[in-house]
A and B are shown apart, each in its own frame.
Chain A
Amino acid sequence: MKVSELVEKGVFKSFNDPGDKEIQGVYISDMVSDIIGIGPGNLLVTLQTHKNLIAAANLVDVAAIVFTRGKTPTEDVVALANKAGIGLLGFEGDTWTLAKKLYELGVR
C-alpha cells in the first residue's frame, strides 16, 4: 500500500505532503538509537516529534512517520521533513489502537 492510499482512508491528519512512497512494513519506536537499525520503506509510528527523529528517519528512508496520541511537530521539524520528502501524519489515539487500525486497513 502507498502512503497516499493510506491517507485517503481518512484516519490521519496530514502535517505536510504525505508523499507516495510504498509502505513495506511498520516499525514502532520512540528511540532514535533504535530507529537507525531498521530497513527502508517502513511506516514509522512514534510519540517523538523532535528533529533528531527526522534526521534518523531520513537516514533509513522511512515511507512516512505517524505521530500518535495527537502529538504535533513544530514548524522547524515539519520544514526539515518537507526538505527530506518525509510525510508526517497524526493520529489522535494511542499506538496500540493505531497498530490495530493499520492492520484493519490492510497494512502488513
Chain B
Amino acid sequence: MTNIRNGYLVVEGCFHCRQRTSFFSQEPVPPQDDYREGDHFWSYLGSSQASKFDLRCEECSKEVPLKDVMALMLCMRCDPECGVYKAGSGGREGKTWVYVALCADTSHASKGCITEPGIRALNEYFNRGTQDQPKKIVVVSCESRKNVDTCEGVVLADVGLTEIY
C-alpha cells in the first residue's frame, strides 16, 4: 500500500435526476455547498473520514493507481440476484468474503467504474498471507451491484468516531 491519503468521502445527490456521486476531499472540513453542474443540482448528503491509497508490487515496484476507488464495502449478501452476491457464491461457502470497490459515479451515469487492473491488484493485495487458508477475499467493482438503493453493505469508512464515549 502506498500514497496513503487521509480525508473525507463526501456523497452528493441530485434532486433533479436522483443520481448520486461522491468525491474524496483532503480539506480539513469537507465542503457541504450545493451547486449546479450542467443539468445537475448537487446537494451534500453526508461524509465520513476515509483514506485513499494506491498499491505497489513489492517485487517489481510497479504501482497500480486506485484513484477511482472511493471506498471498500463489505457485502452483507442481501440479494441472491445481485452480481455482488453471486461473486461470493461457488466454492469455499462461508469462507468467501466479497468487498465492493466503490467508484465516484455511484449511479454509473458515465458508464465508467473501477479499472480491471485496479480490481486485480486489490484482490491480490488482500489475499496475501492469510492464516485462515480456506478464507478468500473477493473484490469486485460497484457496477456489479444490482441496486444501489436497496444494497446492504458495511462501508469501510470512519463513521461514529464521536460515539466512542
Residues on A lying within 8 angstroms of B by beta carbon are 21-22, 30-34, 36-37, 39-41, 47-48, 50-52, 54-56, 58-61, 63, 83-85
Q: Which residue of B lies closest to A37 (CB)?
A: B1
Complex contact B154–A55 (CB within 8 A):
yes
Which A residues touch B164, using CB under 8 A?
30, 47-48
Known: A47-B164, A50-B160, A84-B97. A21 touches B132 (CB 8 A): yes
Whether a CB of chain A sits under 8 angstroms from the CB of B142 is: no
A-B contact pairs, 24 of them (CB 8 A): A30-B164, A31-B158, A31-B161, A36-B51, A37-B1, A37-B4, A37-B51, A37-B53, A39-B129, A40-B128, A40-B129, A40-B131, A47-B164, A48-B160, A52-B154, A52-B156, A52-B159, A55-B154, A55-B156, A58-B74, A58-B97, A59-B72, A61-B130, A85-B132
Complex contact B135–A36 (CB within 8 A):
no
Which residues in chain B, 90-127, are within 8 Å of chain A measured between CB atoms? 94, 97, 99, 126
